[in-house]
Amino acid sequence: MAGGGFDAPEVAQGKGNKHKKSKAAGVRIDMTPMVDVIMLLLTFFMLTTTLSAPQLMKVSLPKGDVKDKVKVDMGNVLYVRVSEKGNIYFAQGRSDGSESEMKKVEVKNIATELEKIYAVNNNLLLLLKFDRKMKYNVMSDVFDEISRAKIERRYAFLKMEDVDLQKIVAAGG
């Protein structure tokens, strides 16, 4: 057999069998280039995407210099203390430096209680004191409720002192 048709099936010479059936060649797709492209795309997007942690809020705290201190009438102060167990207590300050009896408040009622107190005294300053051992989500819930309240939001963070812990224990904390 000279000439072309190298890929053509052989024709059998003989009686009855005019054509010999050839096996069909399977289709084979090489996946190596596709895997290479996928890995290159994955690497590209990993290197070009900025990975930043989600932030709930940014708090700018003063350095605490003497010139930063502000004189406040204690009658305009509302102490908000949160215990280790997540119990929230309100205590209204008095002009003589003392404070009223602590009142336990549920998280869901913070906004309404603040609005009631703010209706009586619109110069209200919240002093927030959180126990370091409490869960973070309680603090987040307290901030959410303060922001839901229809008041002028003025608050400051103070360190929870031993006196505060004793008041919380005395209130049932």
pLDDT at 14 (0 to 100) = 54
How many of the other CB atoms lie within 10 Å of CB of 2? 3
pLDDT at 41 (0 to 100) = 94
pTM: 0.59
Q: Which domains does the chain have, with CATH numbers?
A: 73-171 (3.30.420)
How many whole angstroms separate alpha carbon 140 and alpha carbon 31?
50
C-alpha distance from residue 80 to each of 58, 66, 94, 128 (Å): 20, 25, 14, 5
Token pair listed for 119: 């209706």
Q: Report residue 38 CA to chain centroid gap.
A: 32
Tell me the pLDDT tens digit for each residue of 28-48: 888 899 999 999 999 988 888
Tell me the pLDDT tens digit for each residue of 126-156: 888 998 888 888 888 888 888 888 888 788 8
Q: Is the pLDDT of residue 66 over 60?
A: yes
More confident residue, 8 or 20: 20
Alpha helices in the chain (DSSP H): 32-48, 110-120, 136-148, 162-171
Q: Is the pLDDT of residue 167 over 60?
A: yes
